[in-house]
Amino acid sequence: MKFALYGAVAMATAMTAFAPAVAAAQELVLSIGSRGYGGMVERNIEAFEAANPDTSVEWLKVSDVPGDSRKLYVTGLTAKSPTPDVFAIDVIWAGEFAQRGWLEPLNDYLGEETIAAYNPSFLSAATVEDKVFAAPLYVDGTHLFYRSDLLEKYGIAVPKTWEEVISASKIVMEGEGNPQLYGFVSMWAKIEGLFMNWLSFINGNGASFFDADGNVAVNSPEAIAATQTMVDMLYEDRIVPDSILTMRPDDARTLFQQGRAVFLMVQDFVHAPLSAEDSPVAGKFDFTRNPYFEGHEDAHSTAMGGWLLAVNANSEHKEEAAKLVEYFTSYAAQLAAAIDENRAPGRTDVYAAPEMTEAALIQKFGEDYAVGVVRPSAITGSLYPRVSEVMQTEVTNALHRQKTVEEALNDAAAEVNSILGK
């Protein structure tokens, strides 16, 4: 009966996708996005093969669109395919995959010292019942990008709090008198990124998804106040365009790049296009950690995303697979990825490397990640996609003023509790 679940199409897809791997069972199959980790993949594979002559690694290139590669993995893992042996997973999948028994715990392979070197916030997303199920490859979280030239022009210091962001936006918008210029843009479309965004806001006000006792706390007074600020930025302060409600990361990036926004809050991958030679804002912008609310200086408010490497629980070469994970996430490999590919390391000790003093950009990313917050994916496990969907829907309801913030978050709390069976 279990077979019934996969369906003919799913099986066919899985078999096509994994067929080459099955044919050559002697080698490891590593599955990772074709662009995501840049030139590091091939370099690392070559070096790994040189150091381990009896193991060869085949690179199965998968889509860089997380939803697409997730579908591919899920199909294969459901069918208990032994390949890919090692695969790159989005930070929010780790809890779910681990709970479904698809990942091999790495504690025995990696050793305590290595595990202690990982960014603790980031690692918590890959830790289920005290076992580590994946190793951080790189971090890609959100930051507050700002137009340094405009702030300078109006004599405004780089804002640290949301209150300062709002007042700075108003000063610049008024001063410039350009109806095409907005204060703040970000990804507030009903996507995963909205949930990240919202977590930044509420954590910046001292709230969090679960309270200290593990209860759902999405409708705490602090969370409601922070969410209300989002709504007010849109309708009261009017520093945010209506179109933010359909913006994905790249839409927001485009607007900022066209010089039409003072602030932008998205993931660090936008730094490269924004600073490209033909970018109108090149040299006119900088970034800082995500803001917090007044009185919450210690708040962890930088929403962290990024990728991990995990070992397939059905792999026939777990030992070698774990070795490959260790190699890819090693100090040397992460240092090289930081210097050459601008990938923010998932190991905190890499930032202290002497070579890194030159890599000012990555250093700065790293400072922000020290105050990072991850999504509650490790705790919610296989229910995470539904929890995230509820939060996206209810926050959207509030942003569209379909419900008051309080109603929306109360409904969200009730729904999340019912999903989690509380």
Partner 1 sequence: MSRTMSLERRTALTGIGFVTPTILIIALILIYPIIQSVVLSFGQSSIDGSQPYQFVGLKHYAALMGDGRFWNALGVTFTFTALSIPLELGLGIGLALLMNESFKGKGLARLAVLFPWALPTALNTLIWRWMYNSDYGLFNGIALQSGLVDRPINFLGDEILAMGSMVVVAVWKTSSFMALIILAGLQSIPRDLFEAGRMDGMSKWQEFTQITLPLLKGPILVALIIRSMDALRTFELPFNLTDGGPVNATESLSLYAYKVIFDFLDFNFGAAVVVVQFLVIFAMSLIYVFALQNKD
Stretch that binds partner 1, among 85-93, 263-271, 357-365, 385-393 (CB under 8 A): 385-393
How far lies 116's CA from each of 112, 363, 380, 422, in Å? Answer: 6, 20, 24, 33
Max CA distance (Å), the chain: 69
How far is it, in rounded angstroms, from Cα 110 to Cα 97? 19
How far is it, in rounded angstroms, from Cα 183 to Cα 329? 39
Alpha helices, DSSP H, located in 36-178: 40-51, 66-78, 94-99, 107-110, 112-117, 120-124, 148-153, 162-176
Site string for partner 1, 171-210 (x = CB under 8 A): ------------------xxx-------------------
How far is it, in rounded angstroms, from Cα 48 to Cα 32? 16
Stretch that binds partner 1, among 119-127, 136-144, 362-370, 397-405 (CB under 8 A): 397-405
Q: Which is nearer to partner 1, 153 or 400 (CB)?
A: 400
How far is it, in rounded angstroms, from Cα 271 to Cα 256? 11
Question: Smallest distance from the beta carbon of 396 to partner 1, in angstroms?
Answer: 5
Question: Smallest distance from the beta carbon of 2 to partner 1, in angstroms?
Answer: 6
Question: Smallest distance from the beta carbon of 165 to partner 1, in angstroms?
Answer: 20
Site string for partner 1, 63-102 (x = CB under 8 A): ----x---x--x--xx-x-------------------xxx
Q: Which is nearer to partner 1, 118 or 182 (CB)?
A: 182
How is residue 21 written in tokens? 């791997």
Alpha helices, DSSP H, located in 276-404: 318-328, 331-341, 360-369, 377-380, 384-399
Judged by CB under 8 A, the chain residues 303 through 342 that form the site for partner 1 are none
How far is it, in rounded angstroms, from Cα 219 to Cα 217? 5
- Residue 110: phi and psi, rounded to 5, are -90, -30
Question: Smallest distance from the beta carbon of 75 to partner 1, in angstroms?
Answer: 10
Question: Smallest distance from the beta carbon of 112 to partner 1, in angstroms?
Answer: 29
How is residue 47 written in tokens? 């070096």
How far is it, in rounded angstroms, from Cα 12 to Cα 76? 10
CA 154, distance to chain mean position in Å, is 33
Size of the residue set binding partner 1 (CB under 8 A): 38
Contact 200, 302 (CB under 8 A): yes
Question: Smallest distance from the beta carbon of 365 to partner 1, in angstroms?
Answer: 27
Judged by CB under 8 A, the chain residues 15 through 74 that form the site for partner 1 are 67, 71, 74
Site string for partner 1, 250-289 (x = CB under 8 A): -x--xx--x-x-----------------------------
Q: Using the rule CB under 8 A, which residue among 113, 242, 278, 298 binds partner 1?
A: 242
243 binds partner 1 (CB under 8 A): yes
How far is it, in rounded angstroms, from Cα 328 to Cα 308? 10
Q: Using the rule CB under 8 A, which residue among 34, 215, 246, 357 binds partner 1?
A: 246
How far is it, in rounded angstroms, from Cα 288 to Cα 377? 26
* Amino acid sitting at position 174: E
2 binds partner 1 (CB under 8 A): yes
Q: Which is nearer to partner 1, 242 or 298 (CB)?
A: 242
Q: Using the rule CB under 8 A, which residue among 331, 385, 404, 410 binds partner 1?
A: 385
Site string for partner 1, 116-135 (x = CB under 8 A): --------------------
Q: Which residues sit at the interface with partner 1, rule CB under 8 A?
A: 1-2, 4-5, 7-9, 67, 71, 74, 77-78, 80, 100-102, 189-191, 241-243, 245-246, 251, 254-255, 258, 260, 382, 385-386, 389, 393, 396-397, 400, 402
